[in-house]
Chain A
Amino acid sequence: MELLDFEEPIELLLEQIEQAKIIASKSQIDMTETIADLEAKVEETRKNIYKNLTPWQRVQVSRHPGRPYTLSYIKAMTDGDFIELHGDRQIEDDTAMVGGFGSLDGKSVLFIGQQKGENTKMRQYRNFGMSNPGGYRKALRLMRLAEKFNRPIVTLIDTPGAFPGITAEERGQAEAIARNLFEMFRIKVPIICIIIGEGASGGAIGIGVGDRVIMLENTWYSVISPESCSSILWRSWEFKEKAAEALKLTPQDMLANGLIDDIIPEPAGGAHSHPEIMFETVKAEILKHLEILEQKDVNTLISERIEKFTRMGVFNER
């Protein structure tokens, strides 16, 4: 597995484990205990490193190439009982946005989310998780379908932004996102939005209006990426760490500021180190929140959704 720069102490231990294994295989010396000790040390070091991540390090973890993406979550949580549905019924099928119904412990749920690719070829195919307008329109079409059949909606957010391109503008990227924001306040079924990786700006919030907005522990959500913020405000790409601090984009800050509802803890070492545990935790959280949300009548659900977002914002009144 690829390691991030701040995971260097782990890398050293992993090398030691490798060497111990080589010694064991070559010399009949029993290294089992040593290896077990080292492995325990790896877990502990990982725990310690991940306990004190800086905002920028969290951004790095959220982008870790080994991190599970939307379809992996859906497939694991539904145990494969899922059918992907395609197309916006207007002009295109956006490959950076996926969606479809699946079964969560026997409960039918609509899943929607941005999808990143797992290798170079797939990353290109998925447009790096950057949706075109068709992606947002596909999402809205599916949400209306869920509403029609009274099925709850779960959106999994993981995008570096909505795609900035010529056809995206021609086809109304801004309108597609705006329309979703508006319509998601009127969808008459529970909506849970979970940021599982990157939550970049309009591209993220375009499927981010819900009764619960939840972030995984090592993710970020803000109006701009730290790099772009650095380049605009500091006029250089060099201040991304500072920008990451200033933007208060971590789950802890977002929760403290009342902009999200909950945080889901990740296994030590991040979602990518123990994906199976991550999937189970997320699934349990979804089921927990759905149970509460499904007891509310539609009018309460929608008025609470509207009121929650209407309260957001701090200003002075004189």
Chain B
Amino acid sequence: MGWFTRLKKGIITETKDKKDIREGLWYKCPRCKKIVTSDDHYASANVCSECNYHDKTNSQHYFELLFDNQDYTVLFNNLYPADPLRFVDTKKYVDRIKITTKSTGINEAMSVAAGKIDDLNLVVASMNFEFIGGSMGAVVGEKISRAIDHAIKTRSALLIISKSGGARMMEAGFSLMQMAKTSAKLTLLADARLPYVSLMTDPTTGGVTASFAMLGDLNIAEPEALIGFAGPRVIKETIKRDLPEGFQRSEFLLDHGFIDFIVDRRELKLRLAQQLRFLMA
């Protein structure tokens, strides 16, 4: 027997009468469980106002957060991945690309935009984790390469926002060489005496970390981002021990001297503009 007696019998809501709550209207912080509207969450740069948890966000959001008056030009969006190795694993690489492009609405793991930050010229290259884990293939390398050319031509600072599992296996050797290619181009940016700031976000690992992400004049990171060369699982398997608390997180890298400072995404524009002023204005 139940604890309560139902007074009215036969309360049934027809499906058509059920209140329709739009998908994604609310956001629940995965850490502190605080619930806010999705609009408020977005306005807070996808950072929880309660516990400062930095949820992932996309390139467009970063562009809006960074550029003056949200005024920017997207560059090199005409580059698409190719399949030079005709790579097939459990799926064909070309099919993987098609499916990912369709589900994400973006055409590669890197987006580039140019505009102003506090009136200083800025080129931002931002990785899209949703596109095959933000993996680095030829397009990612080429977009960085062209972003650097553009920065040199327009005397702009360069910000690369990294968010990647590393190299793209389906482009194998080509992918590996993007590590060298992006590093080569960064020497040209350095020769032009233009600042390069590398912002590492969750997660930044593998060949991305071991090339352009660690080569900033300033290396900065969002709080608690996973940043490393080898992934934690690989390290655990190799050394057959549990990994220490906070291992490979931004704060760990700060302690060990590999990043300049940790930046709250809501203050990213402020801190970046301030730092660029020191170097450029």
B173 and A221 contacting across the interface, CB-CB below 8 Å: yes
Q: Which of B53-61, B122-130, B235-243 contacts A (4 or more CB under 8 A)?
A: B235-243
Instruction: With both chains docked as a complex, state the minimum distance between the C-beta of B224 and any C-beta of chain A, in angstroms.
Output: 16
CB closest residue in chain A, given B182: A181
A-side contacts of B207, CB under 8 Å: 201-202, 223
Q: How many residues of A contact B (CB 8 A)?
A: 56
- B150: CB under 8 A from chain A? no
B-side contacts of A205, CB under 8 Å: 176-177, 179-180
Instruction: With both chains docked as a complex, state the minimum distance between the C-beta of B78 and any C-beta of chain A, in angstroms.
Output: 5
Instruction: With both chains docked as a complex, state the minimum distance between the C-beta of A246 and any C-beta of chain B, in angstroms.
Output: 5
Instruction: With both chains docked as a complex, state the minimum distance between the C-beta of B222 and any C-beta of chain A, in angstroms.
Output: 17
Instruction: With both chains docked as a complex, state the minimum distance between the C-beta of A219 and any C-beta of chain B, in angstroms.
Output: 13
Pick the contact of A306 from B82, B184, B206, B215 — CB < 8 Å? B184
Complex interface residues of chain B between 23 and 64 (CB less than 8 A to chain A): none
B141 and A169 contacting across the interface, CB-CB below 8 Å: no
B239 and A166 contacting across the interface, CB-CB below 8 Å: yes
B-side contacts of A165, CB under 8 Å: 230, 235, 238-239
Q: Which of B11-19, B65-73, B87-95 contacts A (4 or more CB under 8 A)?
A: B87-95
- Complex CA distance for A201 and B136, rounded to whole angstroms: 13
A-side contacts of B206, CB under 8 Å: 202
A224 and B186 contacting across the interface, CB-CB below 8 Å: no
Complex interface residues of chain B between 73 and 104 (CB less than 8 A to chain A): 78-82, 84-85, 87-90
A202 and B210 contacting across the interface, CB-CB below 8 Å: yes
B-side contacts of A222, CB under 8 Å: 172-173, 176
Pick the contact of A312 from B177, B228, B244 — CB < 8 Å? B177
Q: How many residues of B contact A (CB 8 A)?
A: 63
- Complex CA distance for A206 and B172, rounded to whole angstroms: 16
B-side contacts of A206, CB under 8 Å: 210
Pick the contact of B209 from A178, A239, A305 — CB < 8 Å? A178
B-side contacts of A182, CB under 8 Å: 183, 186-187, 215
A-side contacts of B177, CB under 8 Å: 205, 259, 309, 312-313
Q: Which of A11-19, A112-120, A229-237 contacts B (4 or more CB under 8 A)?
A: A229-237
A312 and B174 contacting across the interface, CB-CB below 8 Å: yes
A-side contacts of B185, CB under 8 Å: 306, 310
A284-318 vs B, CB cutoff 8 Å, 1 = contact: the mask equals 00000000000000000000011001101111111
B179-199 vs A, CB cutoff 8 Å, 1 = contact: the mask equals 111011111100000000000
B176 and A223 contacting across the interface, CB-CB below 8 Å: yes
Given contact pairs A172-B258, A175-B214, A181-B180, A234 touches B89 in the complex (Cβ within 8 A): yes
B-side contacts of A257, CB under 8 Å: 84-85, 173-174
- A74: CB under 8 A from chain B? no
A-B contact sample (10 more), CB < 8 A, given A174-B228, A182-B186, A259-B173: A169-B228, A172-B258, A178-B214, A185-B183, A246-B89, A310-B145, A312-B177, A312-B181, A315-B80, A317-B79
Interface residues of A (CB under 8 A from B): 162-166, 168-175, 177-179, 181-182, 185-186, 201-202, 205-206, 208-209, 221-224, 229, 232-234, 239, 242-243, 246-249, 253-254, 257, 259, 305-306, 309-310, 312-318
The 4 lowest CB-CB distance pairs between A and B, nearest first, are A313-B138, A164-B230, A181-B183, A174-B209
Provide a sorted-by-A list of 6 A–B residue pairs whose CB atoms are within 8 angstroms.
A166-B243, A174-B209, A185-B180, A202-B176, A223-B167, A233-B90
